[in-house]
Chain A
Amino acid sequence: SQQGEEDPQALSIQEGENATMNCSYKTSINNLQWYRQNSGRGLVHLILIRSNEREKHSGRLRVTLDTSKKSSSLLITASRAADTASYFCATDRSNTGKLIFGQGTTLQVKP
């Protein structure tokens, strides 16, 4: 069963705008990872955030984690057309490496 839910399911923005995607999950976690998938290809690892962390940055990406609300958000700043992809969150509940994926957000960045 899916652990997470993501919203929005689809997001369309103009190049240069910021994109925010949210992920909620049901049980306590060890860590949460965000991935990008282009057109049904493999997943690209973006960021891992641990349960004792609240925020992480990587380039134009900012991830927050609120364990009290069981939610995470991915912010992409100054978006580019190349950011067009599906974005997934995945949670590891027990540090076993067994990831449970959210349904994903499809992001379209218009040039």
Chain B
Amino acid sequence: SAVISQKPSRDICQRGTSLTIQCQVDSQVTMMFWYRQQPGQSLTLIATANQGSEATYESGFVIDKFPISRPNLTFSTLTVSNMSPEDSSIYLCSAQASYNEQFFGPGTRLTVL
């Protein structure tokens, strides 16, 4: 298994600002991902965080809005840029461990005013 931590756990931000969310895994993993969970909804994959190269974004998500870094095999950041109230969601990072099991962090609850 993999133990994942995220910072911050929650934040309240003003419209037009940006927030960077950090994700730390307790072991080296090949695959890391970022998901969004809008209020009352299920999870949607934002992107795959690739170590040493640009993230791979899913349809509907773009790098300018959600820049992602992955400098090594245990750490990744997601920035939510130029925020609007529609960005209010829980953002979760995940890591794929051995046997393809995917583990999630505790999430970052973002509220944009």
Chain A positions near chain B (C-beta within 8 angstroms): 2, 30-31, 33, 35, 40-45, 48, 88, 90, 92, 95-104
Interface segment among B12-20, B67-75, B76-84, B93-101: the answer is B93-101
Minimal beta-carbon separation of A91 from chain B (angstroms):
11
Contacts between chains A and B (CB distance < 8 A), count: 64
Q: Contact at B100–A101, with CB atoms within 8 Å?
A: no
Q: Contact at B100–A97, with CB atoms within 8 Å?
A: yes
Q: Contact at B100–A42, with CB atoms within 8 Å?
A: no
Determine the chain B residues whose CB is within 8 A of the CB of A45 once the complex forms. 1, 101-104
Contact residues on B (Cβ < 8 Å of other chain), bracket = 20 to 34
Q: Contact at A42–B102, with CB atoms within 8 Å?
A: no
Q: Contact at B92–A103, with CB atoms within 8 Å?
A: no
Chain B positions near chain A (C-beta within 8 angstroms): 1, 4, 31, 33, 35, 37, 41-45, 48, 58, 90, 92, 94, 96, 99-107, 109
Known: A48-B99, A97-B100, A98-B33. A42 touches B44 (CB 8 A): no
Minimal beta-carbon separation of A50 from chain B (angstroms):
8
Determine the chain A residues whose CB is within 8 A of the CB of B94 once the complex forms. 43, 99
Provide the bound-state CA to CA distance between A30 and B109, in Å: 31
Provide the bound-state CA to CA distance between A34 and B18, in Å: 33
